[in-house]
Amino acid sequence: MPLIQSWRWFGPKDPITLGDIKQTGATGIVTAMHEFAYGECWPEEAIRERKALIESYGFTWSAVESVPIHEDIKTRSGNAERYIENYRRTLENLGKCGLDTVCYNFMPVLDWSRTNIRYTLPDGSMALRFEWAAFAAFDLYILQRAGAEQDYSAELQAEARAYYEQLNEDDKQALIDTVLLGLPGTGDKHAFTLESFREALARYDDIDSDQLKANLYHFLDQVIPTAEAAGVHLAIHPDDPPFPLLGLPRVVSTATDIEQLYSRVPSEHCGLTFCAGSFSARADNNLVDMLQRFGDRVHFLHLRSTAIDEHGNFHEADHLGGGVDMYALMKEVVLLQRRRNVSLPMRPDHGHQMLEDLQQETYPGYSKIGRLRGLAELRGLEMGIARSL
């Protein structure tokens, strides 16, 4: 049972076309109906049309990434119940179209966070990077979040101050744009101004991790029965990075979080997107062990690696480099698929900007050649392991 080698495509507006993707060797497309606002129901007819388009190129639509969760649901306020109802209808419509894997995340306010989307590696290619001094500089001196000092050591605050002082106006703007970056596929440069961002954060003033988990379980209690009936597997994406930022709570960062989720919601339709890159940004996450323990409910894989330094800063490494033992992880993936007798959708998560990518504008992390390299390396690794086992 080989992996369904997949490629994330952002829909008809993506500068990388389905025709281009054909040449990467991917057989699956991962996409979403990005044209619908968060919280809206996706109509069956629109899903069916998109699926037909994907299939007309000989691909399968291997996973839906993502059906986003509206902030009202995460904060359990405003129109939460209406949006949950819409979510259930969307799952039914996806099921009717034969789509069975749906990725989502429960990260407050932002999706993934980085401080530099053009970090140059020694070979001249560029990667995404997270650096504490830059992040703290944004939080303390640009956003000026109330109480932010409590979240950083005196040493880090001093580093952040020094970092901030050497920024010129363009650098500052670049840092703001990076932290507030629009979510993948939204098409906007960023969805927030500093002011609206402060307001969005304020909605979480009284929500700690336990409360956010309670809100997640409330959501799942209502949607999982629908997912079961529709034949859809939900796969939550881990927090990226997997530690608290900006005073916001987290829900899926560690093995303990997953254990809690699995025991609180025992359905196999309540599963996990195993995002190796996200989990790997914490040195105390043992990825192979996590895949062994939680693999029975892993419905979707994102494979990439990170390189973390002694301060906890990290950048996205080569797919076969960095801190993830990709050989050991892939071996576990091969064994898992054999045990479960399934082919799981897998996409190379992100890629460096390299060669012609350096001249082409794409969604940060979603370069053409960098991802092609990642996909090719992972595909070869899987084949080599599968043949030799």
Q: Give residue 318's identity as a one-letter amino acid code.
A: D
> What are the φ and ψ backbone dihedral angles of 4, each rounded to 5 degrees?
-85, 100
Nearer to ligand DNO, 54 or 103 (CB): 103
- Residue 68 CA from chain centroid, whole number: 11
Which of 65, 131, 316, 357 touches ligand DNO by CB under 6 A?
65
Pairing mode, strands 306-308 and 314-316:
antiparallel
User: The tokens of 152 are what?
Assistant: 């950083």
Residues that contact ligand DNO, how many (by CB under 6 A): 13
Task: For the CB of residue 183, give the shortest distance to ligand DNO in the complex, in Å.
Answer: 7
Task: For the CB of residue 127, give the shortest distance to ligand DNO in the complex, in Å.
Answer: 13
Residue 237 lies near ligand DNO (rule: CB under 6 A): yes
Residue 61 lies near ligand DNO (rule: CB under 6 A): no
Nearer to ligand DNO, 184 or 295 (CB): 184
Nearer to ligand DNO, 108 or 184 (CB): 184
Nearer to ligand DNO, 148 or 224 (CB): 224
Task: For the CB of residue 104, give the shortest distance to ligand DNO in the complex, in Å.
Answer: 5
Task: Answer whether the bond into residue 241 is a cis peptide, omega within 30°.
Answer: yes
Residue 14 lies near ligand DNO (rule: CB under 6 A): no
DSSP string, 250-263: -SSSSHHHHHHHHH
Nearer to ligand DNO, 110 or 201 (CB): 110
Task: For the CB of residue 103, give the shortest distance to ligand DNO in the complex, in Å.
Answer: 5
Task: For the CB of residue 147, give the shortest distance to ligand DNO in the complex, in Å.
Answer: 27
Query: By CB under 6 A, what part of segment 151-190 binds ligand DNO?
Result: 184
Residue 74 lies near ligand DNO (rule: CB under 6 A): no
Please give the angle made by the CA atoms of 153, 158 and 161, to the nearest 5 degrees. 125
- CA pair distance 30, 8, nearest whole angstrom: 5
Which of 7, 42, 59, 104 touches ligand DNO by CB under 6 A?
104
Active site residues: 237, 275, 302, 349-350, 366
Stretch that binds ligand DNO, among 20-28, 99-107, 222-230, 246-254 (CB under 6 A): 99-107
Nearer to ligand DNO, 105 or 215 (CB): 105
Task: For the CB of residue 235, give the shortest distance to ligand DNO in the complex, in Å.
Answer: 9
CA distances, 138 to each of 115, 161, 165, 175, 341 (Å):
9, 10, 12, 7, 47
**Residue 278's closest CA among 300, 247, 260, 262?**
300
Stretch that binds ligand DNO, among 21-29, 104-112, 323-331, 379-387 (CB under 6 A): 104-112
Binding letters toward ligand DNO, positions 277-306, x by CB under 6 A: -------------------------x----
- CA pair distance 109, 87, nearest whole angstrom: 18
User: The tokens of 20 are what?
Assistant: 């281009």
Strand partners, 126: 120, 353
Half-sphere exposure of 30 (CA within 13 A, CB side): 29
Residue 112 lies near ligand DNO (rule: CB under 6 A): yes
- Residue 74 CA from chain centroid, whole number: 17
Nearer to ligand DNO, 104 or 164 (CB): 104
Query: By CB under 6 A, what part of segment 339-378 binds ligand DNO?
Result: 349-350, 365
Where does residue 312 rank: exposed (0-12), middle (13-18), buried (19+ CB within 10 A)? Answer: middle
Q: With helix as H, strand as E and coil as C, how does 148-203 read?
A: HHHHCCHHHHHHHHHHHHCCCHHHHHHHHHHHCECCCCCCCCECCCHHHHHHHHHC
User: The tokens of 389 are what?
Assistant: 């086992």
* Site residues for ligand DNO per CB under 6 A: 65-66, 103-105, 111-112, 184, 237, 302, 349-350, 365
